[in-house]
Amino acid sequence: MNWTEIGTFLFIPADAERMVAGAHKRGAGAIILDLEDAIAPSNKDAARGKLASSVAILAEHGLTVVVRVNNDPERLVDDIRAAVLPGVHAIILPKVETASFCQYVDGALSVAERVGGLAERSIGIIAVIEHPAAMRALDGIAAATPRIVALGFGSEDYALAIGTKATFESMAMPAQAVAIAARGRGLAVFGVPGSVGVIDDEPAFKALARAANAFGYTGILCIHPRQVTMADEALAPSAGEVAKARRIVEAFDRSVASGSGAVAVDGQMIDVPVALQAKRILSLADRIGARQPSSPA
């Protein structure tokens, strides 16, 4: 699986049967079944018990499924055992501060995979950075285990930890640091450099999505279906951008076929990096078009 091409992740409580049943209509690149913040403490055991049926429903629709586990010692191992299921592609590990924590979870997943009859390392880890203490260990976290497929940035908890609000001004630096660590290791990276709670202010959320994209983020975390549509609209290339990208790719391919390495298009010199950027634009346009919801959110 290419985690850099997911685009949007939509959180759904693991025990929200109606939301799970309609998840395939939301147009998200992946669904996150949440056992952590979206579940009240008194309901966590019951939500874990419904996880298998929720995964099965999503898998029937061919969706990419991720499970966010709790990271406290009382629940972590039970959550991991419950999440190791056919149809689950990765777990989201929240509040990661050290590489050793990721390695411990790697071992727990290996045991659960053997018990469950799944292939070794069939389930990845998305390590979420939510505390300034993790900033000192970013590269180590990104390289902690081959099971790490992505880093995430949890802006709300990060803001809480440093005693501020999750605004672009306060989150831009740590968000970009997480992106640099992830992309430097060839990993995907998900989140927004501001509050993920923005639902009704469409321009504000679209601005965060564009800023995340500019920082190198490969995916946007969404807590409401409306945000999925807003993120796709914010990141979708315009018709003009798609047309120019197509001209660039076609001209560059012709140039390479004729034995030349560069060519001018619309007054711009095109070499390998520019041609690859144009191909990325065409791929993004295709992916977003293919993910459009089948019914209104």
Token pair of 121 as six digits: 């390392």
Residue 235 vs residues 8, 224, 279, 281, 289: alpha-carbon distances, Å:
10, 17, 15, 10, 12
In contact, 50 and 83? CB cutoff 8 Å? no
Tell me whether residue 72 is annotated as binding.
no
Tell me whether residue 26 is annotated as binding.
no
CA distance 62 to 130: 30
Largest CA distance in the chain: 68
Provide Rg for the chain, Cα atoms.
20
CA distance 23 to 139: 34
CA distance 16 to 162: 32
Nearest alpha-carbon partner for 274 in 254, 242, 252, 255: 252
- How many Cβ atoms sit within 10 Å of the Cβ of residue 284? 20
Tell me whether residue 250 is annotated as binding.
no
Alpha carbon distance, N-terminus to C-terminus of the chain: 27
Q: Binding-site residues, please?
A: 68, 130, 157
Q: Binding-site residues for Mg(2+), please?
A: 130, 157
Q: Binding-site residues for substrate, please?
A: 68, 130
